[in-house]
Amino acid sequence: MAGLHALANPLKAMTTNLLDFDLHGLQAFCESLGEKRFRAQQLFRWIHQKGESDFDRMTDLAVGFRHKLKQHALIKGLDKISEHTSADGTIKWLFSVGNGDAIEAVYIPESDRGTLCVSSQAGCAVGCRFCSTGHQGFSRNLTTAEITAQLWMAEHHLRQKLGRSERVISNVVMMGMGEPLQNYSALVPALKTMLDDHGYGLSRRRVTVSTSGVVPMMDRLGEDCPVALAVSLHAPTDALRDVLVPLNVKYPLAELMQASLRYLDHAPRDFITFEYCMLSGVNDQPEHAQLLIDLIARSGVGGQGLSCKLNLIPFNPFPASGLVRSSVEAVGRFAQQLQQAGLVTTVRKTRGDDIDAACGQLAGDVVDRTKLAQRKSSQRVIPVVVSPL
């Protein structure tokens, strides 16, 4: 049975979850069972295009092959804890990933697309000041199967719910819980499954990885699986970004911007998206806008600024942050200043905030193995000042 209800298979612990494989990995697995590689394509289509988890229903596979699969493999999604639907149609799922950890995935329907926001970790070790996930600490990386399962389950559940046989999810954004590039080895096979024509057949332009700036992995992603890239910028200076995005201490702005420029050589689009969370009195002043303009202008080559799009994100408050959303007027002035400087700038529409499904609000339920709460209580709070310029 496909979708959200296709869960645990009562097989022994030695079985392999086939959601862990991209097509290349599934081919190797089939060969290990003594089968031809082309069998993997048939199996891959059954799993991802049809959402099937019962080997007996895969009628064009040889009976002997199906018997081997039942002995050595299973197709197991995630246990759904809850599902909430926003007034605007956004759907948020809470999934258990075992040992007290739970993650969230969000479906955002629009007139011309259906976007799924996918998590890559249980918690997050980066600890951005404005992100609810970061305030929970970090438990562990998700497996490839756990990343892929979010798309597998959401896609086929939505097809059943909407009575559709064609693809519902047209875009995937790795913008859920976690820093995707800190879980690189599990991320890339999941991305390849999303892109594979025998899988979900998504365009590279419609799969986006968001990163807080893990510079070495940005370079590797450009070589291994160049999908669209969104960089969480949020500040125009190192002094301010060190406070808002602690990873900046390791990979400061000069390195991050040069890595973004290098990524353009491989990117499916001719620009990088920079995400900028608008925080009242913190990073939303005219001097911050000008510093952002200057940063982008000097980060290109040949006198040209770095080709990019600025995505201004209204902050979605949560109690532990101590931060306040910029006013509509402040966001408008900031956007206008960037646009007048020739930068393509959009303001993200907030979706699903009534069910805590908006950007920065995904929290799930994480057993923090980094003891973040204890460390925070023993450290001096660093104030966020208006203009550390």
Active-site residue list: 104, 359
Kind of pairing between the strands at 101-110 and 91-98: antiparallel
Kind of pairing between the strands at 73-74 and 16-17: parallel
H or E segment and range at residue 258: helix 253-263
Task: Single out the residue of 385, 372, 378 nearest to residue 128, CA to CA.
Answer: 372
Q: What is the DSSP letter of 125?
A: S
CB-CB neighbours of 298 under 10 Å: 12
For the sheet with 91-98, list strands across it. 79-85, 91-98, 101-110, 113-117, 171-174, 207-211, 228-232, 272-278, 308-314, 344-347
Q: What is the DSSP letter of 56?
A: G
C-alpha dist (Å) from residue 213 to 108, 241, 316: 25, 11, 21
Residue 53, judged by CB atoms within 10 A of its CB (0-12, 13-18, 19+), counts as buried
C-alpha dist (Å) from residue 335 to 30, 244, 268, 329, 341: 53, 20, 25, 10, 10
SS3 230: strand
Q: What is the DSSP letter of 303?
A: T
The whole-angstrom separation of Cα 193 and Cα 282 is 40
CB-CB neighbours of 231 under 10 Å: 22
The whole-angstrom separation of Cα 323 and Cα 243 is 13
C-alpha Rg value of the chain to the nearest Å: 22
The whole-angstrom separation of Cα 265 and Cα 331 is 31
Q: Which amino acid is at 87?
A: A
Q: Which amino acid is at 351?
A: R
